[in-house]
C-alpha cells in the first residue's frame, strides 16, 4: 500500500472517530443546544468551546488531506489523547477503556505500518 492510500484511510478513520466523539459529547450539551432555539438565551461557554473545537478539527481534517505537515499534527492528537486516557484511566483499566484506547490509536498505527 502506498503512502497516499494509507493517508486517506487514516483520514477516514480519524473523521469517523471525530463523528463518534461529537455525538457522544453532544449528549452533555443537549439541553443547551435545544435552548439556543429559544430567543434571548445566552449560550453556555462550554457549548461555544465545544462547537469551536469541532470546527477546528473539521478544518484540520480538510487541510490535512492536502498538506502533509497538517496531517502529522492531526496524527499527534489521537496519540496525545490516548496518553491522556492511559494516565487518567490507569487505575480503572477495564476492557472498555482498553478498546477505546486501541480505537483511538488505530489511525496513527495504521498509517505508519502501511508507510513502511
- Residue-level pLDDT, tens digit, the chain, 116 residues: 787 888 888 888 888 888 887 877 777 777 666 666 666 666 677 777 878 888 888 888 888 888 888 888 888 877 887 777 777 766 666 777 777 777 788 888 888 888 77
Q: Cβ distance 97 to 89 under 8 Å? A: yes
pTM of the predicted structure, to 2 decimals: 0.70
Amino acid at each position: 500500500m502506498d503512502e497516499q492510500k494509507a493517508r486517506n484511510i487514516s483520514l477516514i478513520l480519524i473523521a469517523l472517530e471525530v463523528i463518534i466523539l461529537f455525538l457522544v459529547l453532544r449528549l452533555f450539551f443537549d439541553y443547551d443546544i435545544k435552548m439556543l432555539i429559544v430567543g434571548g438565551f445566552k449560550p453556555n461557554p462550554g457549548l461555544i468551546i465545544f462547537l469551536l473545537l469541532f470546527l477546528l478539527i473539521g478544518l484540520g481534517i480538510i487541510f490535512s488531506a492536502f498538506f502533509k505537515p497538517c496531517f502529522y499534527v492531526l496524527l499527534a492528537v489521537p496519540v496525545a489523547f490516548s496518553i491522556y486516557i492511559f494516565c487518567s484511566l490507569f487505575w480503572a483499566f477495564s476492557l472498555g477503556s482498553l478498546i477505546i484506547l486501541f480505537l483511538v490509536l488505530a489511525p496513527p498505527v495504521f498509517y505508519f505500518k502501511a508507510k513502511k
